[in-house]
Amino acid sequence: MTDTVIGIENVRFAWARGPEVLDIPAFSLARGERVFLKGPSGSGKSTLLGLIAGVLAPQAGTIRVLDQDMGALSAAKRDKLRADHVGVIFQMFNLVPYLSVTGNVLLPLRFSSARRKAAGADAEGEARRLLARLGLTDEALLSRRVSDLSVGQQQRVAAARALIGAPDLIIADEPTSALDADARDRFISLLSEEVERSGASLLFVSHDASLAPLFTRAVDLSAINRAGVTA
Amino acid sequence: MIALLSLAWRSLLNRKGSVILTILAVALSVALFLGVEKARNGARDGFGNTISGTDLIVGAPTGSVNLLLYTVFRMGNATAEISWPTYQQIAARKDVAWTVPISLGDNHLGYRVMGTTTDYFEHYKFGGGKPLEIADGEIFDDLFDAVIGAEVARDLGYTVGTPLVLTHGLGSAGFEAAHDNRPFRVVGILKPTGTPVDRSVHVSLEAITAIHVGWESGARNPLADTISEEMIRSFNLTPRTVTAVFVGLERKGTILTTRRAINTNKGEPLMAIIPGEALAELWSVTAVAERALLAVSAFVIAVGLVSILTSILTSLNERRREMSILRATGARPHHIFLLLVLEAGLVGFIGAILGIVLVYVILGALAPMLQAQYGVAFGTGLPGRVDLTVLGAVSGASLLIGAVPAIAAMRRSLADGLSVRL
Average pLDDT over residues B109-135: 89
B418 pLDDT band (50/70/90 cuts)?
low
How far is the C-alpha of A74 from the C-alpha of A77, rounded, in Å?
A: 5
Q: Answer whether A50 sits within 8 Å of B332, measured CB to CB.
A: no
Distance of CA B241 to the CA centre of its chain: 32
Q: Is the pLDDT of residue A81 over 80?
A: yes
How far is the C-alpha of B118 from the C-alpha of B123, rounded, in Å?
A: 9
Shortest Cα distance, chain B CAs vs residue A138, angstroms: 23
- Could you read off the pLDDT of A157-189 as tens digits, one per residue? 998 999 998 899 999 888 888 788 888 888 888
How far is the C-alpha of B376 from the C-alpha of B374, rounded, in Å?
A: 5
Distance of CA B94 to the CA centre of its chain: 37
> Best of A55, A168, A169 to disrupt the B interface by mutation (most B CBs within 10 Å)?
A55
How far is the C-alpha of A213 from the C-alpha of A186, rounded, in Å?
A: 14
Q: Answer whether A46 sits within 8 Å of B422, measured CB to CB.
A: no
At residue B189, the pLDDT reads 94
> Among positive and negative, which fits the CA dihedral B335, B341, B347, B350?
negative
- Considering the domain boundaries, does residue A173 fall inside one? yes
Distance of CA B100 to the CA centre of its chain: 26
Phi, then psi, of A229 in degrees rounded to 5 = -95, 125
- Considering the domain boundaries, does residue A25 fall inside one? no
At residue B262, the pLDDT reads 92
Q: Is the pLDDT of residue B235 over 60?
A: yes
Average pLDDT over residues B284-311: 90
Q: Answer whether A47 sits within 8 Å of B418, measured CB to CB.
A: no
A161 interface with B at CB cutoff 8 Å: yes
Among B69, B19, B6, B1, residue whose Cα is nearest residue B344: B19
Shortest Cα distance, chain A CAs vs residue B26, angstroms: 24
B420 interface with A at CB cutoff 8 Å: no
A-contacting residues in B 301-330 (Cβ below 8 Å): 321-322, 325-330
How far is the C-alpha of A142 from the C-alpha of A136, rounded, in Å?
A: 8
Whether residue A127 contacts residue A160, with contact meaning beta carbons closer than 8 Å, is answered with yes
Which chain B residues are closer than 8 Å to A103 by Cβ? 10
- Classify residue A187 by burial, with Cβ atoms within 10 Å: 0-12, 13-18, 19+: buried
Shortest Cα distance, chain A CAs vs residue B14, angstroms: 5
Which chain A residues are closer than 8 Å to B417 by Cβ? 50, 53, 55-56
- Classify residue A20 by burial, with Cβ atoms within 10 Å: 0-12, 13-18, 19+: middle
- Considering the domain boundaries, does residue A230 fall inside one? no
| Reported ipTM exceeds the 0.90 cut | no
Whether residue B100 contacts residue B117, with contact meaning beta carbons closer than 8 Å, is answered with yes
B171 pLDDT band (50/70/90 cuts)?
low
Strand partners, A171: A88, A203
How far is the C-alpha of B133 from the C-alpha of B136, rounded, in Å?
A: 9
How far is the C-alpha of A51 from the C-alpha of B159, rounded, in Å?
A: 91
Shortest Cα distance, chain A CAs vs residue B360, angstroms: 34
Q: Which CA distances in Å does A220 have to A23, A32, A184, B401?
A: 14, 19, 20, 48
Residues listed for chain A: 231
Domain extent for A128: 32-54+78-224
Average pLDDT over residues A15-35: 86
| Number of domains present in the structure of chain A | 1
Best-predicted range by mean pLDDT among A61-70, A89-98, A178-187, B228-237?
Answer: A61-70
- Considering the domain boundaries, does residue A195 fall inside one? yes
How far is the C-alpha of B12 from the C-alpha of B19, rounded, in Å?
A: 7
Q: Answer whether B325 sits within 8 Å of A94, measured CB to CB.
A: yes
- Considering the domain boundaries, does residue A63 fall inside one? no
Closest residue of chain A to B422, computed from CA coordinates: A93
At residue B28, the pLDDT reads 95
Q: Is the pLDDT of residue A92 over 50?
A: yes
Crossing angle (nearest 10°) for helices B275-316 and B385-416:
20
How far is the C-alpha of B330 from the C-alpha of B344, rounded, in Å?
A: 22
User: What is the DSSP-derived secondary structure letter of residue B157?
Assistant: T
Q: Which CA distances in Å does B263 have to A72, B21, B58?
A: 88, 61, 9
How far is the C-alpha of B5 from the C-alpha of B157, rounded, in Å?
A: 60
At residue B98, the pLDDT reads 94
Closest residue of chain A to B325, computed from CA coordinates: A94
Shortest Cα distance, chain A CAs vs residue B343, angstroms: 14
Whether residue B1 contacts residue B338, with contact meaning beta carbons closer than 8 Å, is answered with yes
Q: Which residue from B11, B321, B330 is facing A83, i.e. has the nearest CB?
A: B330
Q: Is the pLDDT of residue A43 over 80?
A: no
How far is the C-alpha of B328 from the C-alpha of A93, rounded, in Å?
A: 13
- Considering the domain boundaries, does residue A103 fall inside one? yes
- Could you read off the pLDDT of A189-202 as tens digits, one per residue? 888 988 988 889 99
Please report, in angstroms and rounded to a whole number, the separation of the first and last CA atoms in chain B: 29
Q: Which residue from A46, A97, A111 is facing B330, i.e. has the nearest CB?
A: A111
Whether residue B59 contacts residue B86, with contact meaning beta carbons closer than 8 Å, is answered with no
Q: Answer whether A111 sits within 8 Å of B10, measured CB to CB.
A: no
Shortest Cα distance, chain B CAs vs residue A178, angstroms: 14
A228 pLDDT band (50/70/90 cuts)?
low
Phi, then psi, of B142 in degrees rounded to 5 = -85, 165
B16 interface with A at CB cutoff 8 Å: no
Q: Answer whether B419 sits within 8 Å of A49, measured CB to CB.
A: yes
- Considering the domain boundaries, does residue A229 fall inside one? no
The CATH number of the domain where A138 resides is what?
3.40.50.300
A81 interface with B at CB cutoff 8 Å: no
Q: Answer whether A96 sits within 8 Å of B333, measured CB to CB.
A: no
Whether residue A22 contacts residue A50, with contact meaning beta carbons closer than 8 Å, is answered with no
How far is the C-alpha of B357 from the C-alpha of B193, rounded, in Å?
A: 28
Which chain A residues are closer than 8 Å to B330 by Cβ? 79, 82-84, 107-108, 110-112, 115
- Considering the domain boundaries, does residue A188 fall inside one? yes
Q: Which CA distances in Å does B106 have to B111, B141, B388?
A: 9, 20, 47
Q: Is the pLDDT of residue B382 over 60?
A: yes
Provide the 3-class DSSP secondary structure of residue B422.
Answer: coil
Return the half-sphere exposure (C-beta side, CA atoms, 13 A cut-off) of residue B319: 24
B14 interface with A at CB cutoff 8 Å: yes
Q: Answer whether A56 sits within 8 Å of B330, measured CB to CB.
A: no
A146 interface with B at CB cutoff 8 Å: no
- Could you read off the pLDDT of B35-49 as tens digits, one per residue? 888 888 877 877 888
Q: In whole numbers, what is the pLDDT of chain B averaged over residues?
A: 86
Q: Answer whether A50 sits within 8 Å of B419, measured CB to CB.
A: yes
Q: Is the pLDDT of residue B186 over 90?
A: yes
A-contacting residues in B 142-161 (Cβ below 8 Å): none
Whether residue B313 contacts residue B319, with contact meaning beta carbons closer than 8 Å, is answered with no
